[in-house]
Amino acid sequence: MNCRVVVEAAVPVFDVETEDEAIRIAISKTGEMLNPDLNYVEINMGERTSPSGEELPPAFIAADEALVALELEMTVFNVEREEHASRIARKEIGQRLENIPLEVKRVEVIEDEELEDEEEEEATTDESVPANDGEASESGDADEDDDEILPEFEDLVE
């Protein structure tokens, strides 16, 4: 079973004046801590609500310091239960985000069809980036060579 896990992080930011500035700095700071090891983790603004249900901005500023709510989303593969997926995500993200509190917000089971769609989307975006860091290929187009060498998934299943 594969799961998509969303973890909320409370990221402290210092010397900020506006909420937008705090959010930008928190996303940048979190990205630096996660990359390059966890570059597959998506970073989004978190959602906060007051006890009465009113939506609040993701950043709370006091005395030029802010606490920013961010949602970190990652896909965990080959797990037995949702609880197992949440523990893996918390451990992987928590190892890189020292002294930042984390809480698992939700765990969604990914159906095989959804996973295939995501892989196809990633493959199409990866094709636009040169695979050989801009060096010219001796045998022509690298994508054509890969197609000839690697059989399609459906062919392997048959």
Residue 94 lies in a domain: yes
In the predicted model, what is the mean pLDDT of residues 11-33?
94
Candidates 76, 65, 19, 75; CA nearest to 46 is 19
C-beta of residue 6 within 8 angstroms of C-beta of residue 72: yes
Examine the pLDDT at 2 and tell me if it is beyond 50.
yes
Range of the structural domain that residue 84 is part of? 2-112
What CATH code is carried by the domain that includes residue 33?
Answer: 3.30.70
Q: Which residues contact 69 (CB under 8 A, 6 or more apart)?
A: 8, 9, 10, 11, 45, 46, 47, 48, 58, 59
Q: What percent of the chain has pLDDT over 70?
A: 70
Give the tokens for residue 42.
């998506």
Q: Report pLDDT digits (tens) over 91-150.
A: 999 999 988 999 999 999 988 666 566 666 666 655 554 444 444 444 444 444 444 555
Examine the pLDDT at 74 and tell me if it is beyond 80.
yes
> Distance between CA 133 and CA 148 in Å, rounded?
21
Examine the pLDDT at 39 and tell me if it is beyond 50.
yes
Residue 71 lies in a domain: yes
Which residue did the predictor score with more confidence, 121 or 74?
74
Residue 139 lies in a domain: no
Residue 6 lies in a domain: yes
Residue 125 lies in a domain: no
**What total number of domains does the chain contain?**
1
Q: 50 pLDDT band (50/70/90 cuts)?
A: confident
